Amino acid sequence: MNTSPLLITMGDAAGIGPEIIVRAFSAGRAAGCVVVGDLAVMRRATALWPDRPLPLALIDTPGDAASLPPGCLPLLQPARLPGGLAELPFGRIDGRNGAAAALCIEQAVAWVLAGAAAGVVTAPLHKEALASAGVDFPGHTEMLQALAARGGEPPPVRMMLANDQLRVVLVTIHMSLRRAIDALSFDAVLQTLRITHRALLAFGIAAPRLGVAGLNPHAGEGGLFGDEELQIIAPAVAAACAEGIDARGPFAPDTVFMRARDAMGHPGEFDAVVAMTHDHGLIPVKYLGVEQGVNVTLGLPFVRTSPDHGTAFDIAGRGVADEASLVAALRMARRLAGLPPS
């Protein structure tokens, strides 16, 4: 069984990332984890609960955490982090926080690729702060994909959002709806089905069942409301089936998620739904409750999960953020990495 630590990146310092990390450690739900972040920012987060002191231990490598006493938060601080992050206000976009978040991700991935850690769990970052820092990625997924390439061809990756009742994998991710529709292709849908099938096998599902959502209302209604289903999606499903993948559809996107939902008294018809666009796929999962949702990046050469919520600038620094989705992301990462449960 793997005994390497999981790395948790702190996310945007002006958001709730640091405080939900502190809450997870304080509750004993982050054993075997090491935080990659800024010492002063994490101290500011621990100060939100003065009645529950949490000692911080600055270490040099992920392996150093094994020698620390229990009950403390091990912290790796990357070089070149911008100074004064803890003095920046909560809840405001700042390029320095975007730059720091990106550096933490880069360092965490470098340690994982070097074999020093078992996986990465990323606290939320802010896409506008990344852009303000000149980071040319729209989000975590694209940045992780580029880092995994190590100067070569980036691996094909997909975003999966999952909770106890529903798993959804997206064909297109962070782009405008108009661009997402233009980006749909036979190859993109087929590749998504292949990646999803392989991932579910790795999760221990012996015979994955994939439901495929259409793009248009009523899945195009035989071409009356659009022909993407006829020209792109259905042929990709047929090709996947020819490869031995149990893929079905395309189905009307307003009902397929209900059919896939695996709940008490309602066994799901599918182990995952493949959706064509970001909001088509993520709204159903988040509606079931963000507190248990986990974002998993499929196709990377390492484990990466994250909470399914954002930076929550409106409540950052108030000490009211819920760490449940982060804890769920840690639990999922442990399982995928072959680590013992916390």
- pLDDT tens-digit series, residues 218-263: 988 888 889 999 999 999 999 999 999 999 999 999 999 999 998 8
Q: Which one, of 332, 281, 275, lies nearest residue 303 by Cα?
A: 332
Q: How crowded is residue 22: how many other Cβ atoms within 10 Å of its Cβ?
A: 27
In eight-state DSSP terms, residue 229 is I
Residue-level pLDDT at 1: 56
Residue 231 and residue 10: Cα distance in Å, rounded?
Answer: 43
Q: pLDDT tens across 96-126, in order?
A: 999 999 999 999 999 999 999 999 999 999 9
Q: Which amino acid is at 117?
A: A
Indicate the helix (H) or strand (E) that contains 120.
strand 119-122
- Which pTM value belongs to this model? 0.89
Q: Which amino acid is at 136?
A: D
Residue 105 and residue 197: Cα distance in Å, rounded?
Answer: 27
CA atoms within 13 A on the CB side of 298: 27
What angle do helix axes 324-337 and 17-26 make, rounded to 10 degrees?
A: 70
Residue-level pLDDT at 34: 98
Alpha-carbon Rg for the chain, nearest whole angstrom, is 20
Domain annotation for the chain: domains and CATH numbers: 1-155+300-342 (3.40.718.10), 164-288 (3.40.718.10)
Q: Which one, of 73, 28, 18, lies nearest residue 327 by Cα?
A: 28
pLDDT tens for the 342 residues of the chain, in order:
567 999 999 999 999 999 999 999 999 999 999 999 999 999 999 999 988 889 999 999 999 999 999 889 999 999 999 999 999 999 999 999 999 999 999 999 999 999 999 999 999 999 999 999 999 888 888 899 999 998 788 899 999 998 889 999 999 988 899 999 999 999 999 999 999 999 999 888 999 999 999 999 998 888 888 999 999 999 999 999 999 999 999 999 999 999 999 888 788 999 999 999 999 888 998 888 767 789 999 999 999 999 988 999 999 999 999 999 999 999 999 988 888 887
Residue-level pLDDT at 125: 93
Q: Are 119 and 336 in contact (CB under 8 A)?
A: yes
Residue-level pLDDT at 340: 83
**For residue 84, is it left (φ>0), alpha (ψ between -120 and 50) or beta?**
left
Give the tokens for residue 63.
């392996």
Tell me the H-state helices in 72-185. Answer: 95-113, 127-132, 140-149, 177-183
Q: Which amino acid is at 180?
A: A
Residue-level pLDDT at 152: 83
The strand pairing partners of 161, in sequence order, are 168, 295
Residue-level pLDDT at 139: 80
3-state secondary structure of 307: strand
Residue-level pLDDT at 290: 63
Residue 172 and residue 174: Cα distance in Å, rounded?
Answer: 7
Q: Which one, of 103, 133, 87, lies nearest residue 37 by Cα?
A: 103
